[in-house]
A and B are shown apart, each in its own frame.
Chain A
Amino acid sequence: MPRVEINGNAYETEQGQSILDACLQNGIYVPHLCSHNELHPIGACRLCVVEIAGEDGLFPSCATLAEDGMEILTASEAVEETRKMAIELMLSGHQADCGTCIKYLNCELQSLKQYLIEDDLSVRRRSRLFPVTESNPIFSHEPNKCVLCGRCVRACRDLRGIGVLYYKHDHGEAYIGVGPDADEDISLAEAGCRFCGACAEVCPTGAVLDRDEFGQNKSRKEALLPCSNACPAEIDVPGYIRFIREGQISEAAALIRERVPFPLILGHICSHPCESSCRRGQIDKAMSICMLKRFAAENDAEQIWEGAIQKKAETGKRVAVIGAGPAGLSAGYYLTLMGHAVTVYEEMAEPGGMLRYGIPEYRLPLDVLRRELEDIMNLGVDIRTNARIESVEALLSEGYDAVLVAIGAHRGLKLKIPGSRGDGVLAAVEFLRSVRMGEAPDLGDRVMVLGGGSVAFDCARTAIRCGSQSVMVACLEPRSGMLATEEEINAAEQENVAIYPSRSFKRIIRDEGRVAGVELMDVKSFYYDEERKLNVETDDESSHVIDADMVIFAVGQLPDVPDDFGIELTDRGLVDADAMSFATGVEGVYAVADAVTGTDKAISAIAAGRKAALAIDKRLGGRGRLALKLASEVQYPARLGRRDGFAELARADVSRELPQDRVCDFRLVEHGFDAERAAYESGRCLQCDLRLKMKAEKFWSSY
């Protein structure tokens, strides 16, 4: 180990360590700019110069090794003069708009200026007046802020092995451009950029900026890793995609299971908010994240998660969960892992809640559902079916230490328009439930579904499969603003569901009591006011009637709460519980998911179930923490390498049963990816997580 003296004090250094690193490691701050933890030093910026006893001149400490016996001086008149000259030259051409620059306070140049410049600059500023480049996806380039340290060039070329950035000149000023041609810049996509963001990560100022990072009311992680952060369960999306890419499928499945107990179910039915926010979507199309999750769950041959899962010691506490839907079962699962004894009471004959009795079988086959429900039961969660709980009080008196109300929202609403009372009008959830119980009602030939969300499309597509000849969906929203996903709408249209967007429902027309049609109006605009009241502006002349034999309302659900349940409800008829703590007005009773929020995504219910479990654990004397570690450590490569045409890699298609075949029965419509397709699709990922693993530079103020 070389021993050196820094500013008169002795320190041990590591073999092959630079003087700069030796100083920083020992808490001695030395200003530096062009060097970076992750990059090879070039000793160009002159800010990190030091004196070495017995040697003439100044040495860039980043590019000089600490040698045994060296006597180093990090501050002297000569050192300070050189540093001041260097930073002033950088600042003289650096655009001075700190007051509106979004990088401010996270800008290394600003921090260095604060450290090195005592008053105004002694050199005159010059405006370089380069235009800002906004034409690339994801990143903005502001060359007037660039100080030509070359970190981005090195990060792209040396660290990532891609090399799309080059030093160039224009009207007598140097700048960093895209592509090898000295006279012309090309787009990042054309140059072969992989949009990993290493350039923006190492930029010490605001010359390469992530447009998503700033000014969106988001934390840095939320902005830069939007897939994981859009996921209510915060699944490590890039992490499991990386495992899939590397062929470690069981690791991928285990990583998903660290956050949710139902990867296979979610792989079939998740509405994937991750995909809507995927940064690849800014280049061409989002990653097919949900299908990759399904691939991992379907091909989890080794099931390594099972061996890795560990229950905490039994606490002797008992928790009752009301409702065996995704929220209740997730909560039961995690409470069990934390050592509590859980009993789940389910009103219906089988567990699963909306997964069992709401979502149609062509989206989620029974065997898929049962497979993962078995995992929950195998863990020791006691599920009692055909057990409706009428009173929370009665349950508490059985000696439970806590009760979680997870009863979902199973009471379908119907609009109170003329004609909506009587036969021939159903609420969506009741219809779907009866079909999944094998008791499909007689629908008639023509079915009109009112509503534009996922539930409406589940109803329409189920009605087709029940044999109705003509199925229609009418909704308030315009075609582009419907709440169902694009995939659902397209699939329904392929199955000959007719869509009537931008319609207001006037009344249901009856002929001698029987439903004969629906009167609709064209909607010009609509909005919900502050009291959540709907205001619709219709075209007065637009009244029209569409014939129908059956009307299904898919306009929302509320919880089905027994009369003497003993829990306060809100004005809207939802269970009244705190959104953060899940506490209700009754001591020891918590409530979660759809029963509290109204109908929401399955993934939200699962995530909320986990959070409620943590809240209950705190009440039961636990720490309210659970760090499940099921997969091996994710390895983050530094090098990506060139891949020509990366930006043009199209999103992998999903193969589906043909429309004419699939409407005959309830067979699963979408086929999962095979290994080849999963490998291809996983290769499209931008790997936004890589840059967050880079070791950031600390500023003077942190020493």
Chain B
Amino acid sequence: MMNFLLSLSIWTPILGALLIFAVSAIGAIGEHSSSQQRNTVRWLSLAVALVSFLVTLPLYLGFDTQATSFQFIEQAPWIPRFNVWYLLGVDGISLLFILLNSFITVLVVLAGWEVIEEKQAQYMGAFLIMSGLMNGIFAALDAMLFYVFFEASLIPMYIIIGVWGGPNRVYAAFKFFLYTLAGSLLMLVALIWLFLESGGSFVLPEWHALKIGMAPQILLFIAFLIAFAVKVPMWPVHTWLPDAHVEAPTGGSVVLAAIMLKLGAYGFLRFSLPIAPDASHYFAPMMIALSLIAVIYIGFVALVQTDMKKLIAYSSISHMGFVTLGFFLFNSLGIEGALVQMISHGFISAAMFLCVGVMYDRMHSRMIGDYGGVIHTMPKFAALFVFFAMANAGLPATSGFVGEFMVILGAVKTNFWVAAAAATTLIMGAAYTLWMVKRVAFGPIANDHVRHLVDINQREFLILALLAVCVLGMGLYPFPFTDVMHISVDNLLRHVAVSKL
């Protein structure tokens, strides 16, 4: 029963987007005034986004936390000639990301309510399509289906940056596209190799069971690593992210940080670890080292940024370092902590970019130096901004703490020094975030632009307050989040512990 929920979560936003395009195309010929039409488009977009979110809720409510296998499975032949299936299913690892993605899309639609004046229908449509495609990535159990969704999701983001982005948007869009595309080409080779090796199957659970020798495992791991490391992004293939963020419109940054970065991390759990467990163990020290470089090196780089979006982009890389670190500790605290960190980072980075967006909409500047004393003119906003900054710095009772805490605990089990290096984020995270807050929100009013700022309106308050509730709720009671993960993570760990040689 109910085995159409995943399809619904993928296709509702995509079909909704097509509907919006159609409505706007008809409206353009009709005699509606443009403001009326914009109103229709955004309310319709909100309705689509809300429905798309609501259809994902039964996934959580109906999820069996005790089941070891994939759930909500749907299967239909897609390209029979190559044995490619439209095969969907979720486990405790992927489930929450579908909900997160659909939730964030609602916020993105709300955030683009007034700011996007040009081609609003296309803007909203692009986000909805992207949301559907990314749900597809998390739900796909057929590797070719996964790959198609994985690559297809680049297109809307490329368009969003390239069309609605900042002055340098074309360069950034290209850099983003080429980096991630180049990364995933090797993955395609790996997928085809696995297809041949498995006797003509793209079904992921079958690949997980495949016996593979050490040398091919190492090659497979490297191929997947390049694809996913770019996406996470891991040091040293991270430099596209700050550029992309700086040029992307607020909504683009939100989705990029909250969801897109998670695709790479998710790939490690779905492909690298279970398919090449021996190579994963072999490369673990390197992966841990790269993760720690991301945490520490990027922490220092974030400190000296003068552009708020760049600062948050670097902070994202640093936080994603915790995710990859957690994966390669090979214990449940580490992996569950990493998953929690991914979801939490989804909320917090979204909130941080939305905060910058709120200020950018008013001042048309992202530079820290142009601000100062925002608290005097925007006290409501400042309160939320400080709150999210604290969450970004990993304050307990916010979601930002939970994942980092779990990963650090997991790291102590593996190696004390790894834990010590990771724990420096306590200091660096607070330093770069709160220093920014100090210069932006506090102090005397810096200039006349700040003097004439207007506090957030109800719509902006609603967006940020929803995220604040999520961040606080997850910080005070993370139990329900980890509860759905346990069985799947334990399963994965057991699987990874067995050699495939």
Check if A and B associate: no
